[in-house]
Chain A
């Protein structure tokens, strides 16, 4: 059975969610610029762009997050951890690529030996309402990266825009708890068919032809290749690609302090930053942009697959769209696959 939510019921639906949940959705900061924020009013939600600048992972892994606060009162140090999540959360409008990325990062932050409680607590408390991409952009290559504009893995509910209404698919146990929601009506056969057509059209639009098969093995042989010197030349070493990438998970930990109190904070960091691997002795194993861009690409397409069997790229296209010098990872992938290796010469 499939459900639908009429668009005229959308705001009341959100309002009803906000009674029980903290609602996170894309919010427009300026024309063409949107990020995920906690919503105070349903009319703040902006689902008009094909994707936000900062990805969905931010809801679980904020760019700047306090880990604990401490206060010195007399002879006592009081430490208060901020790992608890006060209320249940709902993310609305997450795209399948961003959700795929969250599943990848899940593997880093959860773990048998150490669990990143800040991330995991938020994950456990959150229901994800995904939004299928009926109009993917041309730089999107999710279909080449084991994803797709209607990829359902990771969503608890999936909304499909039919025009006058959203088709609602309840995909998981968490999603099924919405079955009795008073705003959901039974979807008509024609609506279900319409959704199928939209899905077919959208899936055809995204690029599924990028040659990523075997890239991990190819990169194994390329660590010292002159390829890296050449490919990074036009990169200016800004950090846009890493900050907007939904699978990047590097962070820095710092203390912010006043005299008697302060907090320990974690902030997103980037392997492209020159100080990232700077050692106290003065030695830096990645002294130039060559080593740093190599690290980025190797991590995505070789190191992460070695640890987790998946390429750490979901084809969202943000790094291509926002790079100031139009560095295109699709071209890089093709060049890697076409490069003549030593033993093939």
Chain B
């Protein structure tokens, strides 16, 4: 898994330090700006509803919040636990004008969805938040002995308290791997940015985990995947959390032709994850929602990262960066490479 060393490009050290110093201030400011914007949009009736984040009912959690009135805007929050990709809700809200709070990765999903014509042009108002990277709540839980009863952020620290402990953790040590490698934290094509655009740099090389993984032999790599997928309980949370999975009939539910069974045979579990990852090729923004949703903590981002890397290498394409360029796997050009045709 991840080493705790950060490969920070030296020219970004100043930017990182500034970012760390101003975390508290910018978090509070972002939160206030989100509320302001929500109030403005709702009072002008520019949107039917706002989807943002609210206080979770458990420590280290935030929860998606749907608000329609001015009184509710004070419930909107912003912190390092706002980990969901809210664009997944758009598929069931096609008749409404929606104000959506988006991080960098979420905005990329929106651009990918717009290529697929999943919503009408002026249906969305994107409230873009330049992201300070999200905290991996599972790793925080595992770092302490005992149940965390309260948690809050202070600057670049996470302070967790239990019945008989209070521990201060360095926030930087507990970021999601996908966030550590992210270089698109400022939402692209947002209608408004509620914070200053951040300097884009990764804390570890963007595809670092995959590069390390590729050094292993094919047998070792398969063993890893076999072990991860063997835990799968077919709950389909990865699919539902993913904004790009919106097929009316998913391939797993097809009975004619029947691609796979509904049980827990290892072949079916492996087949499901491989095919679902492939269906994301050229469409995945690397938001990590799939992995974060999985109750069995399967490392799904290994698959998506690898495919994203391949798409970058083979087609020089990254999902959701450019609203004009369509995904390479949904277009055909005469000049497309054909070496695989023998």
Contact = CB atoms under 8 A, between A and B. Distances in A.
Contacts of A328: 57-58
Interface stretch (A28-36, A123-131, A181-189, A301-309): A28-36
Interface residues of A, number: 41
A236 B234 CA distance: 15
A42 interface: no
B61 interface: yes
Interface string A216-245: 000000000000000001101111100110
Contact of A236 (B233, B240, B262): B240
B297 A33 contact: yes
Interface string B250-266: 00010000000111110
Contact of A30 (B141, B147, B297): B297
B147 A234 contact: no
B297 A32 contact: yes
Interface stretch (A69-77, A143-151, A317-325): A317-325
A44 B309 CA distance: 38
Given A32-B141, A256-B261, A238 B237 contact: yes
Given A139-B58, A325-B84, A64 B64 contact: no
Given A265-B263, A322-B295, A238 B241 contact: yes
Interface residues of B, number: 40
14 contacts: A31-B297, A32-B297, A64-B262, A138-B58, A139-B58, A234-B65, A236-B237, A238-B241, A239-B235, A239-B236, A254-B261, A254-B262, A267-B264, A328-B57
Nearest to A330: B57
B62 interface: yes
Q: Is the interface of A mostly helix, strand, loop or mixed?
A: loop
B92 interface: yes
Given A138-B149, A234-B63, A244-B295, A324 B262 contact: no
- In this complex, the member of A240, A254, A275 whose beta carbon has the largest number of chain B beta carbons within 10 angstroms is A240
B142 A243 contact: no
- In this complex, the member of A63, A326, A327 whose beta carbon has the largest number of chain B beta carbons within 10 angstroms is A326
Interface in A13-41: 29-33
B57 A326 contact: yes
Interface in B33-66: 56-58, 61-66
